[in-house]
Amino acid sequence: MANDRPNSMLKRRKVVVTAVVAACFGFALGATEWAQADAPTAPALSISTNTAPQQALVALPDFTPIIDRYGPAVVNISSTTNKVIHQQANPFPPNSPFYQFFHHFMAPGQNGSGPQQHEKIQSLGSGFIISPDGYIVTAGHVVRGANHVVVTLTNHHAYPAKLIGLSVRYDTALLKIDAKNLPTVPIGNSDDMKVGQWLLAVGAPFGFYNTVTQGVVSAMNRPLPDDEYIPFIQSDVPINPGNSGGPLFNMQGQVVGINDQIYTNSGGYMGLSFSIPINTVMRVVQDFKDHKAIQFGYLGVEVQDVTPPMAQALHLKEPVGALVASVMPGSPAAKAGIKPGDVIVTYDNKPVYNVGQLPPMVGNTLPGTRARVGILHRGAAETKDVLVTALPKNMAGPSGSQEASQPAQVGKVSRMGIHVQSLTPDIEKRLDVHHGVVVVGVSEGAAAEAGIMPGMIIQQIDQQDVNNPTQLEHIVASLPANQPIPLLVRQGKASIYVVVTLPKK
């Protein structure tokens, strides 16, 4: 019955509509006959039209001059990559009764050996021409690992492209095609950009060539977890797969960035787009053209965020800056006097509000440059003059050979609820540490609540270096109760500060 009611209602509505239409039709017919018989002829309507260009009532940006002038310098990039697919092998031996059953589900010719198959994968991206003789800039992930790259211009001419250089850290690539007298784009200065300025993106989202989208700058110098050396431009310009590598224009028609990433839960645009600043890009591109190895600035510190509890433990007024967890021996930071526990708040006269801002600042510094680094040392402001060097090619610690263990001093710190022992030569060489104590046991207490686990090395407590278990016991005995205290620990080859709150004695 529930299904019959809507149908009956629908039928009634149809009937009513039909009746009304019929009535109106009859009335209209009668009215028409009456008008023809008695009414005077109505004058023709006079409609005034004006097709001349009119001034806009509301001032909005007009992007057409940018596209007309520089649109031809934006190119489409298609790349082909050979991907190796490992086919599943028959898990049963030939004499198994299940072998033949599973064999029917294998691809022809496999015979359970699990051979490799090669599949060609094609991807689309965008790029822009920076010189009339055919140099093209794009995002590194557009052509990374590609066996064949083709560049197509807006006039539909296609050229095979040669990869001149590619940087994974900066996600930037430089291509070259054999052509002359090509249209180019002007390069702007991304350091001059401000939040709220209009932007224009050109690319091929989902393969729809020469698509134009617009938006504004949402934030500058935005760090992302997987790209620590890139100070991204965040915008709300709609960018989708296929836009990667395309230019980001300002209102002067200058390229200020490469469209690179989006934040999404669906695979499509959700209002957050990220572009590589053109100043970062062109530094890499120039090295490519000069056939130079790309060098990154190196400070030699491991840093972490300053949380509100950590700021309280370090006696800071507010939780800002990058907390130095460790300093590499012989590094520029070590030579300048920067120590674990210092908080970096400025770099090269630029503020450092959080830990994500520092790596791109240092990485983009040319080796050999002197940078002024502002720190808070035990709450007091200091400035260090640091000579930035090149990032070492091998950042891994020395492996060394295994040595026989020597007797180690063991101690118990009851107030923290841990057992510790002194470092052995093997641990010092393997982890490249020179002071601290190894946690060998953890029970309920302050250390467990702070996340301390066996195997960690306690290097510092309350900004005092720890060299042996006895020293740690004495320091802990002198510390106040129920107050946050900074504790520097090392796990593997990474150091980090945690906050520990000690109970009453």
Q: From first to last of its 505 residues, what are the pLDDT tens digits of the chain?
A: 444 444 443 333 333 333 333 444 444 444 444 344 455 565 666 666 667 777 767 677 889 999 999 999 999 999 887 665 555 555 555 655 555 544 444 444 444 444 555 566 677 899 999 999 999 999 999 998 888 999 999 999 999 999 999 998 899 999 999 999 999 999 999 999 999 999 999 999 988 988 999 999 999 988 887 788 899 999 999 999 899 999 999 999 999 999 999 887 777 788 899 999 999 999 899 889 888 888 889 999 989 889 899 988 888 888 999 999 888 888 999 999 999 999 999 999 999 998 888 998 998 888 899 999 999 998 889 999 999 998 887 553 333 333 333 445 778 888 998 888 888 777 777 777 888 888 887 888 888 888 888 888 999 999 888 988 888 988 998 999 899 999 999 887 788 899 999 988 7
Annotated catalytic residue: which of 171, 260, 342, 462? 171
CA angle 225, 227, 228 (to 5 degrees): 80
The one-letter amino acid code at 439 reads: V
Distance CA 29, CA 324 (A): 91
What token pair was written down for 229? 């050396």
Is residue 244 among the annotated active site residues?
yes
Dihedral angle sign, alpha carbons of residues 145, 147, 153, 154: negative
Which parts of 202-357 fold into alpha helices (H)?
278-289, 308-313, 332-336
Task: Could you list the beta-strand ranges (E) of 463-505.
Answer: 464-465, 484-491, 494-501
The H-or-E segment that residue 27 falls in is helix 4-38
Phi and psi, residue 7, nearest 5°? -65, -40
Annotated catalytic residue: which of 79, 141, 273, 495? 141
- What is the separation of C-alpha 181 from the centre of its chain, rounded to a whole number of angstroms? 36
Q: Report the Cα–Cα distance between both ends of the chain, in Å, rounded.
A: 79
Q: How many CB atoms lie within 10 A of CB 219?
A: 12
Q: b/e per residue, 85-108, with b = 16+ CB within 10 A?
A: eeeeebeeeeeeeeeeeeeeebee
- What is the separation of C-alpha 208 from the centre of its chain, rounded to a whole number of angstroms? 25
Distance CA 234, CA 259 (A): 10
Distance CA 215, CA 212 (A): 11
Distance CA 162, CA 208 (A): 24
Annotated catalytic residue: which of 78, 79, 190, 244? 244
Instruction: Enumerate residues 6+ apart whose C-beta is below 8 A from 261.
Output: 224, 232, 244, 273, 274
Confirm if 435 and 495 have CB atoms less than 8 A apart. Answer: no
Grouping H, G, I as helix, E, B as strand and the rest as coil, residue 157 is: coil
Distance CA 69, CA 65 (A): 6
Give pLDDT, residue 28.
43
Q: How many CB atoms lie within 10 A of CB 425?
A: 12
Distance CA 242, CA 75 (A): 11
Instruction: Report which of 138, 139, 137, 128 is spatially closest to residue 184, judged by C-alpha positions.
Output: 128
